[in-house]
Amino acid sequence: MSDFVSLVTSLEIKLKKLIERLNTEEKKNQMLSVELENLKDHKKHLEQELKSWEDQYNALKLANSMLGSDNNTTEAKLKINTLIKELDHCIGSLSA
């Protein structure tokens, strides 16, 4: 009978240790989830900032080509044609 009691006691101790480990791992999981969300937000912010810089770069490149730089005149003409097409599309949408 004492073997049975010691077996039950041993199982209780192991169960308590497992519950403690489970609680610890759940806390770690929650912390990692919060960190993951923070990193996702940071990544999104950096992507938006990159897009902004790319837009500014493209605008500056277009402005430089419009100033008479021979390097990008073809690109400037294509961009102007694209803008005209977009304006025509908008006017067409408003007229309809």
Per-residue pLDDT reduced to its tens digit, 9-64: 999 999 999 999 999 999 999 999 999 999 999 999 999 999 999 999 988 887 77
Q: Which of 57, 55, 63, 56 is nearest to 80 (CA)?
A: 63
Q: How far is CA 72 from CA 47, 51, 64, 68, in A?
A: 27, 22, 8, 9
pLDDT for the residue numbered 80: 83
Q: pLDDT tens digits for 52-73?
A: 999 999 888 877 777 765 666 6
Q: How confident is the model at residue 96 (pLDDT cuts 50, 70, 90)?
A: low
Q: What pTM was estimated for this model as a whole?
A: 0.54
Which residue type does 56 have? Q
